[in-house]
Amino acid sequence: MAELDLKGLWKKGESSLSDSEGFDLDKSIQSKSKDVLQKIKFILTIEFWLNNVITTSCSVFYYIEFGPFWGIFTGIVFLIYFFYYSFLINAIKKFDYAGEVKNSLKKIYNYLRFYVLHYKVVLWICFLIIPYVAFGYGFFIGYSGEPNPEWAQNTPQFEFTKSQAYIALGIIIVLPLLITLGCNYLISLIYDRKIKKLKAIVNGLDN
Amino acid sequence: MVMNPDSFFKDFVEENKGIIYKICRVYANDREELQDFVQEVTIQLWKSSQNFENRSKLSTWVYRVTLNVCLTLSRKNKRRVDTVGLLSTDYIDDTDNTEQEQISALYAAIRKLNDADKAITLLYLEDKSYQEIADILGITVSNVGVKITRVKSKLNDIING
C-alpha cells in the first residue's frame, strides 16, 4: 500500500467515525482523574498529614516527658519529614502534561522509580529493621540484665520453654521478613509494569 | 474542587475533539477505556490550560497532552480488540464496504505497532511536518525521518501480510 493511501485512508476513517457524539465536556472535567501521579499525590498527602500529626505529638510528648533534647530531636525529625513530603507533593503539582512527550514520560518514569524506592525503604525500615533492632535490644536487656529499671524489678520473672522460644524466634524473625517481602511484591506488582512500559516507550523514541 | 470551563476552552475542545478521539482510539483497548482516556485528556488539557503561555502552537499543545496521557494510561492489550471504535455502528450507512475494510486494516495495523511507533504514525498520518513531530515528541528531526521510514515499512508489511 502506497504512502498516500495511508494518509488518505486515515482521513476517510476520520470523517466516518462518530464515537465523539455525546461527549460532555463539563462532566468530563469534573470527573475524578485516573492519572497515576494524582493517585500517588493523594497517598502522599495522607502520609504527609499523618506524619505531621504523629511527629508533632511525639515532639511535644518527648519534650514534656524526657526533656528538651528529645523534644528538639523529634522536632528536627518532623521538619525533615515535612520538607521531604512537601518536595514530593510539589513535584507532582508542578508536573504538566503539555511538555515534550519524551521528556514528560522520562519525568513520570523517574518519579515512579523514586516513589517505589521510597516505599521500599519505608517498608524495610518499618517492618524489618525496627522490629529486629527492638527485638535485639530486648534480647540484650533480657540477658545482660542492664539497664534494670524499677518497674522491671517488681515484675515476676518469666522464662520461655525451649519450644516457646523457637516459636517466638520464628515469629519475630520470619514474620517481619514475610510482611516486608509481601509488601515489596505488591508494590512491584502495582508499579513495575508501568515503569517498564514507560522505559520501553522512552527507549523506543530514542532509538 | 469544582472546575467550570470557560466558553473559550469549551469551543477549543469542541474543535479539537476529533484529534483527541483519534489518538485515544489507537491506544484504548475498548470503548470504556476510550471514554476514560478522553476524559483524562480533557482534565489534563483543562489543568494545563491554566499555565499555557503561548510558547508552543495550540495544536502542538493538544497533541502533546493527548499523547502524554494516552501513553501513560495505556495498558498491555489484554483483550485484543483490533477494531475498537471501528464497529459497524460507528459508520454511516453509505460508507463503502471495501473502504471500511481498508480503514479497519489500517487501524488494526497501527495497533500492532509498539506505543512509540504508534505516536510517530499518528502524527505522520495527521500530516504534521517533521519539525512539528520533533517538537511534539521531543526528538530530533533526523530521528523523526528515520522512524517514519521504518514505521511506514512496518505498516505496509502488516497490511499486505
Instruction: Please state the domain extents for chain A.
Output: 35-95, 96-147+160-207
Q: Which residues contact A48 (CB under 8 A, 6 or more apart)?
A: A82, A85, A86, A89
With a CB-CB cutoff of 8 Å, which residues 79-138 of chain B face chain A? Answer: 85-86, 90-92, 95, 99-100, 102-103, 106-107, 114-117, 119, 124-127, 135-138
CA dist list (Å): A1 to B127, B148, B153, B159: 17, 15, 10, 8
Cis, peptide link before residue A176, omega less than 30° from 0: no
User: Rounded to an integer, what distance in angstroms lies between the CA atom of residue A172 and that of residue A174?
Assistant: 6
CB B116 within 8 A of CB B79: no
Contact assessment for residue A114 and residue A181, using Cβ atoms and an 8 Å cutoff: no
pLDDT for A90: 94
Nearest to B71 among A20, A101, A103 (CB): A101
What are the residue ranges spanned by the domains of chain B?
7-159
How far is residue B11's CA from residue A22's CA, in Å, rounded to a whole number? 15
pLDDT in tens, B18-77: 889 889 988 998 888 888 999 999 999 988 888 777 667 888 999 999 999 999 998 766
CB B113 within 8 A of CB B151: yes
A104 neighbourhood in chain B, CB within 8 Å: 64, 68, 138
Which of B66, B71, B121, B133 to probe by mutation at the A interface, max A CB count within 10 Å?
A: B71
ipTM: 0.83
Residue A169 is predicted with a pLDDT of: 83
Mean pLDDT of chain A: 85
Q: Of A100-104, A150-154, B156-160, which range is least confident?
A: A150-154
Relative orientation angle of helices B97-112 and B7-27, to the nearest 10 degrees: 80
Condensed to tens digits (0 to 9), the pLDDT of residues B69-114 reads 999 998 766 554 444 454 444 444 455 677 778 788 888 889 889 9
pLDDT digits (tens, 9 = 90+) for A23-68: 677 777 778 888 889 889 999 999 999 989 998 999 999 999 888 9
For Cα atoms A172, A177, A181, give the angle at the middle one, nearest 5 degrees.
160
